[in-house]
Chain A
Amino acid sequence: MHSTLMFILIVLPFLAAIACAVVPVKQVRSAVVVVTGALLVVASLLLIGKVPFETSFTSMAGLPLASMTQLADFLLLGFVLFLGWKHKHLGIKILAGAQLVILFALEAFMMDHHAASMAFVADPLSLTLVLIISIVGSIICIHAIPYMDNHEHHLHLTISRQPRFFAWLVVLLGTMNALVLTNDLLAFYFFFELTTLCSYMLIGHDGTEEATNNSVRALYLGSMGGLALLLGAVFFQNMLGSLEIQEIIKLAPSAGYAMLPMALLCVAAFVKSAQAPFQSWLLGAMVAPTPTSALLHSSTMVKAGVYLVLRMAPGFVDTTLSTYVALFGAFTFLATALLAVSQSNAKRILAYSTVSNLGLIIACAGINTPAATAAALFLIIFHAVSKALLFLCVGTIEQRIESRDIEDMHGLFVRMPVTASLAVIGVLTMILPPFGMLMGKWMAIESAAANVPVIMMLALGSAITLLYWARWAGLLMSHPLQGGVTPEVQPKLTKYPLVALCGGAVLLSLLSPWIYSALIVPMIDMVNLANPQAMFEAPYVTSKGMLGADSGVFPVAPLFLVLIVGMFLGLRVLKNAQGAREASIYLAGAQSRTAQTPDSFVGPVNQPVKVANANYYLTRLLPEGKVTCWVNTAAVLLALLLVVGGL
């Protein structure tokens, strides 16, 4: 049973990718994507009943698995080297070359290859990630089917490039599943590199100059992360004689020079999670078709980074490194939230918000208490769902209005009531109680309260987050009543994914006390098991749908009751309000009488002057270029401090 599930979660996407790439028939490809998605969902759900377990495979279909991975690893690095040569990028050439040499040295001189098998560990943390990757990831892939048709129609392509696109999309799902399930740091490194390659392929998909440049940047920065990870692995092999992740966590020394490999792993994670100063690759990823950005941002790729930090976190409890990780995460949370304020491009807002939320998750991992770990896990889950919803909404909106500027979305509710409403709900689930994201933030703030620098950054960052989300939600609704709303027709494969994600964001929030007892308590127990000196206790107790502790209480179910009552009241009022008399907007008595629409002032010579509104972007206070420069400088210093400071 275990091996069947592992096969579906990891190998099947690769087979599906081959099918997508080889069979040029659209119907077949769509069916393959839908069926693979469905199987992934089922397999990931079946995995719930199975954890925790360990399993290892020596061979697959008669081929030795470990040696195959080794070979693939060298081939992959060789390919990256080739790409560096093809794009004439010195940095990539150096990074890939260095990794080839180091990997060869590691494999040939430092490791003992007798018992070569590939070990997998499925525990609550990897299960959570597998569920997110398989369910949210599949939903995004399915939404991509009608999206890519429109996309190619818009680009007037004669030969469809969709086979290639969907192949890489599903490969990414399989790679991510393997990455979170493997217990071997070297295998982890291989899958880590493979996600970098996937992002390179997906970002560069459209083949424009901008897309190519940005994909090369993603490859370049990704290779930096790969190098850091590989160096960390070499140090660990040298010090501990083992590359088993669970073993490393158990044995990891907690002071002095020995912290270096852990710090290197953290740096690799920061690169993958696009933390400052590495955020540029994720912002560049925005040129790709929306399903790519949705997948990279919400359920895969960037989650690999925070997964790595969270996975390793029990290995550096109560160390200087942990303190610096918390500081670094909190700083990125605040700094990129500030950057998001100056943006009017919807995708860039989403991108900065992703980086910012990942910073918060990393801060939680650095605080490294059970409550903070719980916060991190909640944030990972709910961020994935809400962010996927928002990306797919923006993609759907963009194809209709041909703009991704939020200033062009004023009153979008009139033109696209369904998508606009879903987007507004998506925004609200990001920032307000009783939804999961806010609960995660609540836990994060409560567990950071005694850490003065971190709590100050979290408090500021959280307020800034509210600013850039709320104004977007408000603007979508901004329209006069006159004229009414045009009903919106969406293709089924567009509508169902959106509705499923929206329902998921709300329903999972309601279920959060149960998610807590089913996933997070067992995870903390696992940490105790792996790390006997940790002695963690479950931070909250759940009763009657409430999460409580001595330090605070979050009554999830009662708040949902209030929400339902409030919604009922609000919708009743809304219905009654349909009978209200329509008022034209207030224009201080200077309303134009000659204009066709009532939203114009009287201008010179009685000419109507149409009202124009725009958000405050505080660009004079926070010019993006300058702020980025300062943020990157500070982040580089912090990252250096993190690597050196632990020594």
Chain B
Amino acid sequence: MMSILGFLLALVVGVFVAPILGGLITGLDRRITARIQSRLGPPILQPFYDVAKLLGKEKLLNNSWQAFCAYVYLVAAATSVVLFFMQSDLLLIFFVQAVGAVFLVIGAMSVPSPYSQIGAQRELIQVLTYEPLLVLVLAGIYVHTGTFKISGIYALEEPMLLKLPLLFLVLGYALTIKLRKSPFDISASAHAHQEIVRGVYTEFSGPYLAILEIAHFYEVILILGLVSLFWSTSFVGMLVLVALTYLAEILVDNVSSRMTWRWMVTSAWAVGLTLTLINLLSLTM
């Protein structure tokens, strides 16, 4: 079992360091994206300025359950990151993360605005699309390591990527959806003014939107943490893998346009399930 010190360390890193790191990565993302688009881009710290500004704004709500849902989303996201740093059960971490996803949807649905309602429906379809893929990636990790615990992955002698290359691709596919990157930015359309405005985020404003942003910082860390597990044997390898993966995500985001949800579900499941099947069978044969 884990020592008290280790527990406290995981708690502090998970609760306080993770969102800062997540914010910085988001800032970096915006900067790189801007450069790709031949713009100068905002300062790296811009996400923090945004959050600070939002926190200072007036509270404006249509339905008070929105506030409740935003905070539950935050608590769930933070809990999943803490569990990650405690090297807990991956499947459990994933389910805890899902609590946040569900409450974001309920929060968006609690306001009868068509934009947030459609956003919420599409968000559910996004969850529907990436959830089975992620569960299957975790099942593959179990087949390879014999456990769902992260500690089991760190006990490996060679990087998981070598044995689970196809599952890593599936993970990348699923995480593009989770990170709200094009071509799957269907429920919240981060770019410009589009047909559903800001979709699932439309009705959240001021301090409540800030809470959602912070929760998203946590999620970015969780996602990159998952990626890092595929090269668990060396710290440098981990960093390189995470950096390359995230750069690839940014690139895909910038070179593709948004697609429809039908295309998302069918393509993600067709590609994801096929790759999973091949990789799982090669492991179990």
Q: Please give the residue numbers on chain A whose beta carbons come within 8 Å of chain B beta carbons, in ascending order.
A: 410-411, 413, 424, 428, 431-433, 438, 442, 445-446, 449-450, 452, 455-456, 458-460, 462-464, 466-467, 470-471, 473-475, 477-481, 550-555, 559, 562, 565-566, 569-571, 573-574, 576-588, 599, 611, 613, 615-616, 621
Contact = CB atoms under 8 A, between A and B. Distances in A.
B273 A456 contact: yes
Interface stretch (B28-36, B40-48, B60-68, B229-237): B60-68
Nearest to A584: B62
B149 interface: yes
Interface in B66-122: 66-72, 75-76, 79, 88-89, 91-92, 95-96, 98-99, 102, 105-106, 108-118, 120-121
Contacts of B139: 445, 449-450, 455, 459
Contact of B92 (A449, A554, A574): A554
B221 interface: no
Given A479-B112, A584-B62, A456 B136 contact: yes
Contacts of A428: 102
Nearest to B139: A449
Given A433-B95, A463-B127, A550-B146, A587 B62 contact: no
Nearest to B266: A621
10 closest Cβ pairs, A-B complex? A474-B109, A585-B113, A463-B131, A580-B59, A577-B67, A566-B75, A459-B135, A552-B148, A459-B132, A449-B139
A478 B111 CA distance: 5
Contacts of A460: 132, 269
Nearest to A562: B79
Interface residues of B, number: 72
A599 B146 contact: no
A578 B67 CA distance: 10
Contacts of B66: 577
Nearest to A482: B62
B157 interface: no
B202 interface: yes
Contacts of A566: 71-72, 75-76, 79
Which of A458, A569, A616 has most B Cβ within 10 Å?
A616
B245 interface: no
A438 B96 CA distance: 10
B59 A433 contact: no
B190 interface: no
A479 B128 CA distance: 25
Interface stretch (B178-186, B249-257, B275-283): B275-283
A445 B99 contact: no
A584 B139 CA distance: 45
B37 interface: no
Given A452-B280, A551-B148, A588-B197, A471 B132 contact: no
Interface in B205-243: 205
Contact of B135 (A462, A475, A613): A462
A570 B91 contact: no
B92 A577 contact: no
B184 to A, nearest CB: 15
A463 B128 contact: yes
Given A464-B128, A481-B61, A553 B117 contact: no
B61 A559 contact: no
A599 B160 CA distance: 53
Given A450-B284, A554-B92, A581-B59, A410 B112 contact: yes
A287 to B, nearest CB: 30
A573 B67 contact: yes
Given A474-B105, A562-B75, A585-B111, 19 more contacts: A428-B102, A432-B95, A433-B95, A446-B148, A452-B280, A462-B132, A463-B135, A466-B131, A467-B124, A470-B105, A473-B102, A473-B106, A474-B108, A475-B109, A478-B110, A552-B147, A576-B67, A577-B66, A586-B202
A203 B246 CA distance: 57
B92 A552 contact: yes
Contacts of A615: 121
Contacts of A613: 112, 114, 117-118
Given A450-B284, A562-B79, A586-B202, A577 B127 contact: no
Contacts of B202: 586
12 contacts: A424-B106, A432-B95, A446-B142, A450-B142, A467-B127, A477-B65, A477-B106, A478-B112, A555-B92, A566-B71, A587-B113, A611-B114
Contact of B281 (A452, A470, A479, A587): A452
A579 B116 CA distance: 23
Interface string B126-164: 011101110110110011001111000000000000000
A433 B92 contact: yes
Contacts of A477: 63, 65, 106, 109-110
Contact of B109 (A478, A552, A576): A478
A67 to B, nearest CB: 54
Contact of A551 (B68, B112, B146): B146
B148 to A, nearest CB: 4
Contacts of A578: 64
A639 to B, nearest CB: 24
Given A432-B98, A445-B139, A574-B68, A480 B91 contact: no
Contacts of A456: 132, 136, 273, 276-277
B24 interface: no
A585 B62 contact: yes
B140 to A, nearest CB: 8
B262 interface: yes
B102 A481 contact: no
Given A551-B148, A580-B59, A588-B115, A574 B128 contact: no
A459 B96 CA distance: 16
A433 B99 contact: yes
A555 B88 CA distance: 9
